[in-house]
């Protein structure tokens, strides 16, 4: 299995502070989705990153290849709903503890 960095990119820098009710509902679905991925053994770590430029989401997935990681990332309800966008990159030679 390989490791992949998933970066969940919100629609605006203050997204975490200014969620609408619809966005909050979508982000609740997002959290449930990532918890299911964690329970399924795909997730090494995930959570929001307190970037001074604006909070964004980080996930590290354990997958067979980039296609699988990209499919999982794009199936995130917040991405499917068009709230967030996503970037996926392989962690070359990644090692876990």
Give pLDDT, residue 97: 82
pTM: 0.93
Tell me the pLDDT of the chain (97 aa) as tens digits: 999 999 999 999 999 999 999 999 999 999 999 999 999 999 999 999 999 999 999 999 999 999 999 999 999 999 999 999 999 999 999 888 8
Give the start-to-end residue ranges of the domains of the chain: 1-89
Superfamily (CATH H level) for 1-89? Dimeric alpha+beta barrel (3.30.70.1060)
Residues in contact with 9: Cβ distance below 8 Å, sequence separation at least 6, in sequence order? 56, 57, 84, 85, 86, 87
């Amino acid at each position: 299995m390989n490791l992949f960095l998933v970066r969940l990119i919100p629609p605006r820098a203050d997204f975490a502070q200014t969620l609408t009710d619809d966005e909050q509902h979508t982000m609740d679905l997002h959290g449930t989705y990532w918890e299911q991925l964690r329970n399924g053994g795909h997730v090494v770590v995930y959570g929001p990153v307190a970037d001074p430029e604006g909070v964004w989401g980080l996930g590290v997935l354990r997958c067979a290849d980039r296609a699988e990681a990209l499919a999982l990332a794009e199936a995130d309800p917040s991405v499917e709903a068009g709230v967030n966008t996503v970037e996926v990159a392989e962690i070359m030679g990644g090692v876990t503890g």
